[in-house]
Every structure is written in C-alpha cells, then in structure tokens.
Amino acid sequence: MEENLNAKPPFQPQKKFFKKNNETLSLLPLGGPGDVTRNMYVYEYKDQILIVDCGLGFADETMLGVDLLLPDVRYLLKNNKNKKIMGMVFSHGHEDHIGALPFVLPQLQTAGYDFPMYASPLTAAFANEKLKEFEISGKVETVPFDNREINLGPFTVSFIRITHSIPDSSHIFIKTPVGNFYHGADYKFDFTPADGKKTDFAGIVNAANQGILCLLSDCLGAERTGFTHSEETISADFEREVANCRGKCIITTYSSNISRLNQAIKAAEKYNRKVCFIGRSLIKNKDIGQRLGYLQMLQNTEIEIDQIKNYNDKQLLLLVAGAQGQENSGMSRIANGEHKEVKLSPDDIVIFSADPIPGNEVLVDQLVDEISKTGAKVLYTQISDKFHVSGHGASGDMMLLLSLTKPKFLIPISGTYKQMVAYRRLAEKFGYQRKQILLIEDGQEVLINQDNMKLGKRIQIEHVYVDQYSGEEVENFVLRDREQLAKEGIVIVMAEVSAEEGQLVNPPEVVTRGLLQSDMQDIKSSLDRELRNVLVSKRVKVTSWVHMRKLVSDVSAKLIFRLTRRRPLVLPIVIEI
C-alpha cells in the first residue's frame, strides 16, 4: 500500500467538464467536521439553501444531566427572511445523521421555512418514525436507488448506493450552477456486504464523468492502512460463539444495524435458538426492517420477552439495545440485575458487536465491568475484534473513492482534526496540492468557485444540549449550575427581612449539601453577624426584593469562600416581614 501511495497518480483532477463562470457557492457545516457527530451541512447558492443531514451527538460524562447534542441552527433561524431552504436530504439512517430531525425541524417550521425532505427507503422510514414519535408534522419522501434526479431549485440531487454499517446508505451527488459536488458521507467499500447490496460503482463513475468540482469525504478511518474488513466476516464468528455457548447468548449492537441483526438471527436459527428483542429502539427498528423486507426471520424464531421463562437458557439468543452503556437501556438494566425477565449467569456470553462512540468509552467500560462481575463471559473489541468491523473506510477505501471521482477540490468530513490531517496527507501523496484541500471546523464557511476554494466567514457555533426524555433544550447556565453543584455543593440561605427597615428579623437559617459539617458550623455562626453588619450600613426601606436577594447571595458567597475556599451554589430565599 505504501508503494502505491508514493507513486505518482495516473491521473490529474478533471477540468474539462467545467464551463467557465464566475458563480460562487457557500458551504457551511453546522456540525460534522472535527466533531464526527451532529452532521449537518448547508449548501448555499445566492439566497437558496440545500441541507444535507440533520444528526445529533451524544453527551459525555462532563455534561451533567444532558442526553443529546444538536446542531446549532441559529444561522438558519436568523436568516429566515432573506433565504429559502429548497430541501433537506439524508445520507443514511444513523443517529448522527438523522437523529436531530424531530428537534430541529419544528424550529425551522416555526421560523417559516417549508421544504421537502428526501432519503433512501430505510433512512426515510427511520426518520419518519422519529417524526411520528415526537408528533412532528412533515414527511421524508422515499427515493429508490434508480438514478433518478430530484430538482430543488438550483440544486439537482441524486442518491448513489454505498456500503456502510447500515443498509440503504448513500452518497449524494449534487449538481449546482457553480459545479458538481459529491457528498461522500460515511462509507466503506464492502465487496461482500451482509445484505448482498453492493456499492453502485457505475453510479460513482457516472457522476465522475459529469465532472466533480468538490468531494466531501468521510475521513474517520484515514489513519488506518489498507481496506476496512467486510461485514460478512462476522457471521462465522457469531455462529461459533452461539454453538459453544452453554447458557444465554446475548448480543448488543446499534439498534439501526439491521444487517448485523440479520447475521445474529441466522446464527440463532442454525442452532435452534429462539430470538428475543429487548429495548424500545431495537424493537422499533426491527419492526421497520421487517415491514420493508430488510430483516428476515423464520416464522417461529422470535419470542416475546414474557416468554423467556418458558425456555432453557441454551435455547435463547437475546438481541439487546444499549451497546453504548446508555443509562436505563436494556443492557444496562440486565448488567445491574434490575431487569425483571433476564438475569445473567456464568454460563452466559455477552457479545458487544459495536465499538464505543467517541466520548462513550467510560460508560461502556463500566458496563463491561458490571457484566463481568456476574461471571458471564464478555466479548468486546479490546479482547476480540471479530464481532465488530468499522463502517468507515480505511486509507485504501478513501484512495479508491478519490481515483473514481477525480475531484478538483477536497474537503474531509466526519472525522476528528487529526483524521482530517491524515486524509490530507493521503491526498497529497495522491497528487493533490495543499491549496486544493481544506480542513474546516463547525461554523467555518467555504467559498467555492471553479478557480479556487477559500475560507469565508466564521459563525459562532454553540453546543445545544437536550434532555432526551422531555425533548427540552438545556441552557448553558443550567449545565454550569449542575457542574457547580457536583463539584462545590449547595448552600440555601433563608433570611427574614423587615420591609420597613431592611434588617434581619431573626438569624438566617442555613442548609448545606456537599460541604463538611465543620464548614457548616462556621458558616452558620458567621453569616448572621455578616449580614447584619451589611444591612445596618444600608438601613433603608426595601423597595426591590430582587436586589435584596442578590445582596444576601453575594454576602453569603463571599463569606463561604473566605471560610472554606469553596464556591458552592448559593440559593437565597428572602422572606418579607
């Protein structure tokens, strides 16, 4: 592979297809580059916009009480009077590409935007199920893989089948007045995919023959050499473990990985095990897969969860949601002994057929620890790489896409910054000059015309936090308060104050949590004296109780810091007497 990298490329990026014009297109990522998740890209020509993907991200252990992260769409909301969204299209059905739709679409609709949405069959089904669940009006239209083109104002869009770790993944070919763009979201070149549906190489070549001005390419695996392994390699390993398992065989994976579910089901059927799906998201996606014909099972293979007790452990294969260690997921409840129908035993095997999403490593490690304490055998990536293969291509896959598309300009996406740098090194060895490759981050606009590609404006992108269960946005200050509570504790100060004189009527009551008992005694004995001294100096009728509460809070906070060198959250409660 290294020899090929160092060789001079057999071609140069094609230029003959581009008719000279002075038009410019703006590309603005609201999430995706450098962050991996929250994928959302705005293609803007004059005042018309095409959006590609609308994904969410996942909170890490520092984001207390937060479940999800959303793309920051304030740019679209602020410009709703001057710009028009012509359409939104989706590359595939993973959460980091469609998961934010039920949260973001209502905001865009409220701002007055009205636009069609399109995706491949399984992707559209997953997206529409989310809209139905959240009772959001709107529908993602299904586009089959038949090379049809969709006209969305100045944008003409077509879907090209690609292989990934979820069926019906696609790359999106976008024709614009400026030139043609190839949006190469998550992919690998799997020549023996588990579902038998291979990459449409003819479609890629057809796009290349029309000339590609810019390629946006998944770069998550740019640091790995060679090609990513095929999904099909997992089937034999599933079968081996199912055959040798003396108890329950439990497999946890991404709920959307229909191909992986099919592989597990086939292994269960081969060794006469009943299959039970555990976890709301998994059951929902299983139903969608069956309805569309993507998930196949013999008639008597599946059992309901309340039927588990009717079978011996050796007769069971359980497919369980929660491979990322999510709190209250089926896998977490089983691991912690909280699941009513499923208890782990030393004869059981638990297979993690998924790698941790970046940021979830701690949660997954904790989950593996809890399972291990039961005596069950646990198979995960660090000790066996046979049960999960990446859905993202390695350097060989990326060079193959480069050689097929022959773009003039390159923008790596869907990777961390170091992976974007690794992709740039690949492209330079492939014959591209650095000026033809841009590394960007969220909020960094790129201006592209037929002659050059350069950085434009930079808009501020903020984390948008969401509580998964309520669906409500969590403000930054709430997260800061939670962090302060966790680190420093809380002090509640209840003060009775005379409205006429502005003085304390009784000594303040103090309640603390998260502070040492000795600290509490010092605070109580000193706060009465401190508050009285301050209020005496300001002896006046109270005209603003908001100001009085702030005064009590400030005096309390300064005293507590002086005594303890800590900054707890101070909650003042002032009672008018």
Q: pLDDT tens digit string along 524-558?
A: 778 888 888 888 776 666 767 777 888 888 888 88
* Domain ranges within the chain, ordered by starting residue: 2-17+24-227+390-473, 233-379, 489-576
Q: pLDDT tens digit string along 197-242?
A: 999 999 999 999 999 999 999 999 999 999 999 988 899 999 999 9
- Written as one string, the DSSP assignment of 401-419 is HHHHH--SEEEEESS-HHH
Architecture of domain 489-576: Roll (3.10)
Q: In 3-state terms, what secondary structure has residue 361?
A: helix
Checking phi first, is residue 293 left (phi over 0); if not, alpha (psi -120 to 50) or beta? left
DSSP annotation of 156 reads E
Instruction: List CB contacts of 441: < 8 A, sequence separation 6 or more.
Output: 29, 33, 34, 35, 417
Q: How far is CA 525 from CA 507, 521, 522, 531, 570, in A?
A: 9, 6, 5, 11, 17
d(CA 287, CA 268): 18
CATH T-level fold of 2-17+24-227+390-473: Metallo-beta-lactamase; Chain A (3.60.15)
Residue whose C-alpha is closest to residue 401's, from 544, 243, 221: 221
Supply the pLDDT for residue 475: 46
Radius of gyration of the chain (CA): 28
Residue whose C-alpha is closest to residue 44's, from 9, 19, 79, 71: 79
Supply the pLDDT for residue 29: 96
Supply the pLDDT for residue 4: 46
d(CA 543, CA 446): 54
d(CA 539, CA 281): 62
Cβ atoms of 44 and 181 within 8 Å: the answer is: no
The helix (H) or strand (E) run that includes residue 377 is strand 377-379
Q: pLDDT tens digit string along 76-113?
A: 999 999 999 999 999 999 999 999 999 999 999 999 99
d(CA 429, CA 548): 67
Q: pLDDT tens digit string along 20-56?
A: 677 999 999 998 887 788 999 999 999 999 999 999 8
Residue whose C-alpha is closest to residue 27's, from 557, 492, 456, 391: 456
Cβ atoms of 19 and 398 within 8 Å: the answer is: no
- Written as one string, the DSSP assignment of 190-214 is -SS-TTS----HHHHHHHHHT--SE
Domain 233-379: give its CATH superfamily. Answer: Metallo-hydrolase/oxidoreductase (3.40.50.10710)
Supply the pLDDT for residue 310: 96
Supply the pLDDT for residue 145: 95
- Would the CA dihedral through 345, 348, 354, 355 be positive or negative? positive
- Would you write out the chain's pLDDT as a tens digit for each of its 577 residues? 443 444 444 445 455 555 667 799 999 999 888 778 899 999 999 999 999 999 988 765 554 455 678 899 999 999 999 999 999 999 999 999 999 999 999 999 999 999 999 999 999 999 999 999 989 999 999 999 998 999 999 999 999 999 999 999 999 999 999 999 999 999 999 999 988 999 999 999 999 999 999 999 999 999 999 999 998 889 999 999 999 999 999 999 999 999 999 999 999 999 999 999 999 999 999 999 999 999 999 999 999 999 999 999 999 999 999 998 887 889 999 999 999 999 999 999 999 999 887 667 888 999 999 999 999 999 998 888 889 899 999 999 999 999 999 999 999 999 999 999 999 999 999 999 999 999 999 999 999 999 999 999 999 988 776 655 444 454 454 445 555 555 667 788 888 888 888 888 888 888 877 766 666 777 777 888 888 888 877 666 676 777 788 888 888 888 888 888 777 878 888 888 7
